[in-house]
Amino acid sequence: MIVVRTTGHLFDHQIRYPKWEADNATLQRWLKDLNLGGVILLGGSAAELKLRSQQLQSWATTPLFIAADIEEGVGQRFPGATWFPPPMALSAIARDNLTLACNLARQMGTITAQEAVATGINWLLAPVVDVNNNPDNPVINIRAFGDTPEIVSKLTTAFIQGARQHPILTTAKHFPGHGDTATDSHLDLPIIPHSDARLASVEIPPFQSAIASSVDSVMTAHLLISAWDKNYPATLSPSILTQKLREELGFSGLIVTDALIMGGITKYASPEEVAVMTVEAGADILLMPDDPAIAIESILQAVESGRISEARIHQSSERIKQAKAKITTNHPESNSLNFLSQLSQPQATQTVTEILEHSTQWGGNLPLRKPENQAPRNLVITDNLLNSSFLDLYTPAIAIPEKLGYQTQILDHHSLDCILLDSSKTLLQIFIRGNPFRGTAGLTTKAKNIYQQLLEQKQVIGLIIYGSPYILDWFKPLLPSELPWVFTYGQMRTSQHHALQKLFNLSEDINNTKPQNFGF
């Protein structure tokens, strides 16, 4: 009933998050002696992940769940595999062509499942079925498939149907709906004040559709839903997990908690009490408790004292056995390189391209022409310069403008004071979206002031926004009608290439030439 986080890398010195990821000796001991149910992986390449999953299975007493938060394809977390645009890109397509959007969502599900199975993953912690109808949502944002229950239901159902073509588990998250919050549950406990009628009409329908589509698991949200339980967050609430999800919605699969190291739950009770209360509420899987040994001991004491019945434990154990019976587990003797033929195939690349082509927006007088008699600036702004895996010296957002004679300046939003407000002609590229632990998916007051000054002083000659459409909504009233701009939901290399091709009207091979002088 316990799933812990670990790295997808093979060696201890590669661990990036030691607070949450045990060293190999500790992890091996946990898997063998505590008989843990599985791991959730982050880090490492797709090829490395194959070896890592085999290694982990070889250490386990019982075949493991190997899970990952791969909402945008395996390549989102594990380089080398396919990285899709964020799910909200599909909702943009659905507004004009729902059939096409559903077909693309289905392909996305199939390709994601195929590549996950090839690398040893057997549990997709996807799709997100939250309805992101709050533009200030800092954590769901473009991870959602849309802002209406109708579109979210259609697209997530298609994704689940596509994933079912391969032996893998799917997950609808975050029950009963994290879309209408302005608080990140990684940091604190959001409160949903809506009535039962509103929850039934907006938040719940996508979960009903997912359950009807035989989704294998439902992940809880660390939210206080006052209409259903004034005292306990959903993750700890029998009224929500057992009465609503199990009995009223008829869900018979696995209930998995969101990570138990998140601020939305750690501030509520001690790790010992949280572990016991999740089981009392109806959860089958405890995801990422701070210490699995403490969680197990706490539950054992609760059973011995009579607080939790043995029958309740057996119910979860049986659901876990049934779920594991659906999936094939890769074993260490399978050392063939054939799995590489399952990754980043032409069909996957074509699906990514099609999503980009149908979801990208643009305006102004395209293409952007380089100013004469001066070297313009390529100003790239990111949320966090130290955690921008989508940027390096040769990614299109840097390399293409450099090739065209732009001088590069890269900043994160904490360093906007370094922007020179002068006569420099500027291509402004902004990478901003909702993500866990960020706290906001919008623009700070300081950022808004600086961007307004850049526009008022006519420094900006071109604009690309990668990520949140709500940032584009803020910019649009400020943009001169002639100023060329492009918006794309994705931030990865393919999105950058596509956006810059649109902005500059470039040939396909422009990104094949390495830049010579980066001007940092």
In the chain, domain spans: 2-342, 360-512
Question: For position 518, what pLDDT does the model report?
Answer: 34
User: What's the CATH fold of domain 360-512?
Assistant: Rossmann fold (3.40.50)
Residue showing tokens 């397509």: 93
So which residues are the catalytic ones? Answer: 186, 258
CB atoms within 10 A of CB 58: 12
3-class DSSP state of 149: helix
Q: Identify the DSSP state of 200.
A: I
Query: Residue ranges of the alpha helices (H) in 60-148?
Result: 88-94, 98-119
Question: For position 375, what pLDDT does the model report?
Answer: 86
Question: For position 36, what pLDDT does the model report?
Answer: 97
3-class DSSP state of 239: helix
CA 435 from chain centre, in angstroms, equals 7
Amino acid (1-letter code) at residue 193: P
Residue showing tokens 């939790």: 308
Question: For position 331, what pLDDT does the model report?
Answer: 44
β 485-488/361-363 pair status: antiparallel
Report d(CA 502, CA 110) in Å as an integer.
29
Structure confidence by residue, pLDDT tens digits, 404-416: 999 999 998 778 8
Do 262 and 305 contact (CB within 8 A), yes or no?
Answer: no
Report d(CA 279, CA 284) in Å as an integer.
7
Question: For position 104, what pLDDT does the model report?
Answer: 98
Do 210 and 162 contact (CB within 8 A), yes or no?
Answer: no
Report d(CA 260, CA 331) in Å as an integer.
29
Report d(CA 6, CA 10) in Å as an integer.
10
- Token pair of 17 as six digits: 């998050």
Q: Which residues of the chain have pLDDT under 70?
A: 184, 328-336, 435-441, 508-520
- Token pair of 421 as six digits: 């407000």
Question: For position 335, what pLDDT does the model report?
Answer: 54
Report d(CA 21, CA 5) in Å as an integer.
6
CA separation (Å) from 175 to 222, 358, 512? Answer: 9, 30, 45
Do 309 and 315 contact (CB within 8 A), yes or no?
Answer: no
3-class DSSP state of 121: coil
Q: Is the peptide bond before 176 cis (omega within 30 degrees of 0)?
A: yes
Question: For position 387, what pLDDT does the model report?
Answer: 79
Report d(CA 284, CA 316) in Å as an integer.
5
Structure confidence by residue, pLDDT tens digits, 299-339: 999 999 999 999 999 999 999 999 999 996 544 434 567 88
Question: For position 513, what pLDDT does the model report?
Answer: 46
Report d(CA 223, CA 140) in Å as an integer.
13
Architecture category of domain 2-342 in CATH = Alpha-Beta Barrel (3.20)
Q: Identify the DSSP state of 128.
A: B
What angle do the packed helices 271-281 and 310-325 form, to 10 degrees? 80
3-class DSSP state of 209: helix
